[in-house]
Structure formats: structure tokens, C-alpha cells
Chain A
């Protein structure tokens, strides 16, 4: 289905989702990279060795979630914009998602944004916590967005309020408690 729709199936996502225990323990990277393509920058970007060395350039990244600190360097490095960091329990009612974002203008901390799932459907509202701008190597900016608790594995993109660049989509869904 991935090759027909461009959207990973639940089965594929399960394969790259850390254990419940690991998810509860703090921020961790989710590698939504399902195809063997010749590519290895994530492995070189990882400062903790959580992304295991590649035997072949076409290997899928193998991630030791126990070593991952959720720093997000892999988000900046991944050419496929396929890595996300989730922290499921930021507080009682919200989670945190770090995602790659290559659109101008970059949002600013405090901005309220529409949260989108893997199909671009609006699933609620979030608030920007932090934005990591690109360095001098053209790294991908990383946007850290506070989302309603329970949506950390759902939210994969954001849209500034009042914009609609993709196809016409219904809005609605959860709202962030203020």
C-alpha cells in the first residue's frame, strides 16, 4: 500500500514504534523509513550511536531506542524528512512532537498551528514550543510542537492557521486545551 498511497500502513508503523515502556520514558526518535534506498546521513548524525552502523548503504536504519535521547539531530539530517521525535507525556494533557519543516516563514514559539496527520488531515490544534533553524549545511529546520496527549504518533505535519496549501481538507478534530 505504501507504494500506492505514499502513506505507511499501521503494520509498517508498528515495526518502527518503540516499546510502551520506552515511549513513557521520554523523547525518542521514530524513523518512518521503510524502503531500501542508498542513504546513510542519519547514522552519521546520531551523537549517541542509537542508529546502528550500516553494513550496506541501502540498509534501513536500525535504531536502538534505549540509546536514543530524542535530540532530533537525525531530523535535521534525514534527506527524506522521514524522522520524527515524540514525547508522549509532556504533561498531563499534552505531548511533544519534533518534526521536519521546510516551509517559509518558519513558525515562532507560541504560535498556534493546525496539526495534520500523515494524509494531511487536520486532527487538532497545537502550539509551537521551539524552532531549530537550519545551520550552514542546509539542515532541515526542526519544529517542536505541543499536541494534545494521545496524538504524538498521529501528528506529522503542521499548517499555519488560516493557510491551506494542499488539497481542500475538512478541519476539525481535537483542540489543544489552553
Chain B
């Protein structure tokens, strides 16, 4: 076992929130350890080939993969940031030690004075007959195969879920030359942005709301899927079943925050369905109920990458301020919170606003 590294700030997760947190903490004068289980910086950003919404003052109009490159470049050039890639944090002990498994190095340890948890979210699965057949994928896996490894996941796809991820990954499938036979959505309306839906509609892909997948069939891999319309009570309507000839069923049915480290740290967790599941109670600067432990990004509640980056900056800044009080800290926090409020002001962020209001009001 190697010695224990003692950075001032450790950031777990190098996606949009973690990268922004590491930069903000380092620029605030802290020495930072940034940890990610993948072998490259960027988290899910590296799979995002579409241009981001948001404010032109931040990164709007830039493709996610380019945001990852920009932030990664700044991080690598910052002398105060040490990076552990290929490193999976597996435990956080009461004495403040993070235990991790580092590729090629075995177990490694770090004991930071401040911890920012930016672990992101995990995809939800869906229960139906045949959901274990090869060819049934989560949307994230499809993006990894296509956009990271350049591997086509299939030829004819059924997308389950019309939130932003389902719509965007459908578009990416089309761009990769895959035929998207249909996008189905159990809810009454499309969950994602209408502009994302319009892109795939004009490419000829139907979107059917109030539909779900009943089962997937095939000998050794997906050969067909059976879908049906749902009634008001979300039950399949007999007689509406249709068989779709597909070799790929892609599930985009939501995300849930990855919070194991926060549970281990003893943070007070509450169930907020609007934010994707259990999330930590936190202060205005995203500090959890355990002093010295912050949260940012999807781990704090499932949202967009644009909000994750601002949350990361806020948490990283607050950690640096804890170590060495920063001038204009209050003003910068106010600006960041204002930017978050703006990004969350639209009608499609109503659910997130409801969840955050419940969290802040203590009505969970």
C-alpha cells in the first residue's frame, strides 16, 4: 500500500461538474487532486457531439466534446491540479481517507481537507421480458460505443424514452447511419426539448407518446421488439401491440444520482423524485450536512451539463474559500447562483425547480 496523499481538495469525478470544481478550487489557491475512473477527462461530455444550449457568456453553442477538451486543457496546464485517471474511489472512511483502485497501481489513498463529490448519475433500467438479451443497451452505452470507440451498436433501433437523452442519442444514431425505427415514450408528452424532437422528426423518425415496450425477442440477440399503447393508468392497451423488426433496443428512461460516497460520508440524504432519487441536503454553496464535503452536478440532482459546470465552480470556489478566505467570494457566489437561476427559469426546468424547492423547504 502506498502512502496517503494529502491534497487540500479532492474532487471525485472529472465530468463537467468535477472539472469545473477542480479548476475553481485550484484558481482559488488550493492544491487539488482530481480523480476519475475513466482514462480520460470529460465524463459524459466526451460523448456529447451536439451543441449546448445555455448562455453565450458560458459555453452555449459549443459541442460537449469541445467543452471537455477546453476544460481538460486548462486542467492539465494548471500546476496545482494532480490528476488520477483510471482510478475508482471505492470507499470514504470516517477519518477522511478516500480509498481508490488505480489502474496499474492497486489500492491508493488520499486524505483531502475538502472533498467535492461530482460522481454524476447512473442510467435506470426497465423491466420487460428479454431485457437481458444482447442488443438491449442503455443510451449511455450506445453513446460510448459510437462516439468513444467508433463501434456501431446495431442497424435498426428502437429508442425507449423521449427525454433529451433519448432524442439526442436517436439523432446520433441517425448520424452514424443507423435506422431509428421509432422513438417511444410512456409519458403523455415528449420530455426533451422540442427542437431535439424536430431534428429527428424531419429525418423521418416517428415519436409515439403513451407507448412502451412490452418485450424483446430473439434467439441469442435482439431480433424484434413488441410495443403497445398505454392507457391513462400506464397499462398496455390490449390489441395495440405492434412488432418492430429491430436489432437494437436503446433505453433512455432516466438517470439516478450516484451517491454512494455521500452515503458513506454520512451526509443527510433525502428522496426527491424530481431530482432523480436520493440527493444530499446542502447549503447555498453546495456543502452537504457533513462539513468539508461538497456535492455538484448530477450527483446533486439530475440536470443539464450546463448547470453541472456552474455548480462545480460554486463548490470548488467554496472549498478554496474554506481553506483561505477569498476576496469577492460572496459576489462570485451570487453571480453563480444567479446564472443557475437563469438556466433553471424556463418551463422545461419546472420539475427541477420543484425538486429544489422541496429540498430547500425541507418538505421531503
Interface residues of A (CB under 8 A from B): 2-8, 32-41, 43-45, 56-58, 77-82, 102-104, 116-121, 137-138, 140, 156-157, 159, 164-167, 169
Contact = CB atoms under 8 A, between A and B. Distances in A.
Interface in B13-66: 50-56, 60-63, 66
Contacts of B52: 79
Contacts of A37: 53, 193, 195, 346, 348
B207 A35 contact: no
B12 interface: no
A36 B346 contact: yes
Given A35-B347, A41-B51, 16 more contacts: A4-B209, A5-B201, A6-B194, A35-B195, A36-B346, A36-B348, A38-B54, A41-B60, A58-B346, A80-B53, A81-B199, A120-B201, A120-B205, A164-B179, A165-B177, A167-B179
B260 interface: no
B51 A79 contact: yes
A157 B194 contact: no
A167 B182 contact: yes
Interface string B288-315: 0000000000000000001000000000
A10 B69 CA distance: 41
A40 B189 contact: no
B194 A35 contact: yes
A164 B179 CA distance: 8
Interface of B: 50-56, 60-63, 66, 174-175, 177-182, 188-190, 193-207, 209, 306, 342-349
A77 B198 contact: no
A80 B196 contact: yes
A44 B203 CA distance: 28
The 8 closest A-B pairs by CB, nearest first: A166-B204, A120-B204, A6-B197, A80-B195, A41-B61, A79-B51, A39-B53, A157-B202
A5 B53 CA distance: 22
Does more than half of chain A's interface fall in helix, strand or loop, or is it mixed? Answer: loop
B194 A2 contact: yes
A4 B209 CA distance: 6
Contacts, number: 151
Nearest to B195: A80
A7 B201 contact: yes
Nearest to B205: A166
A138 B60 CA distance: 12
Contacts of A7: 198, 201
A38 B175 contact: no
Given A32-B198, A120-B201, A6 B190 contact: yes
A44 B201 CA distance: 28
Contact of A36 (B56, B200, B347): B347
- In this complex, the member of A6, A58, A137, A138 whose beta carbon has the largest number of chain B beta carbons within 10 angstroms is A6
Given A38-B55, A38-B346, A166 B66 contact: no
Given A2-B194, A57-B55, A79 B61 contact: yes
A33 B193 CA distance: 10
22 contacts: A2-B194, A5-B201, A6-B200, A35-B193, A35-B195, A35-B348, A36-B348, A38-B345, A57-B342, A57-B343, A77-B61, A79-B50, A79-B60, A80-B195, A80-B196, A81-B199, A116-B204, A117-B202, A119-B201, A157-B203, A165-B178, A167-B179
B202 A41 contact: no
Contacts of A164: 179, 204
A163 B348 CA distance: 35
Given A7-B198, A8-B198, A41-B60, A140 B51 contact: yes
B189 to A, nearest CB: 4
Contacts of B179: 164-167
A34 B190 CA distance: 14
Contact of B194 (A34, A77, A156): A34
Contacts of A119: 201-202, 204
A35 B342 CA distance: 15
Contact of B175 (A39, A104, A118, A120): A104
B343 A166 contact: no
Contact of B205 (A4, A104, A167): A167
A139 B27 CA distance: 30
Contact of B66 (A3, A6, A102, A138): A138
Contacts of B62: 137-138
Contacts of B54: 38-39, 57
Contacts of A104: 175
Contacts of B195: 32-33, 35, 37, 79-82
A82 B198 contact: yes
B247 to A, nearest CB: 15
A148 B96 CA distance: 70
- In this complex, the member of A5, A34, A56, A78 whose beta carbon has the largest number of chain B beta carbons within 10 angstroms is A5
A1 to B, nearest CB: 10
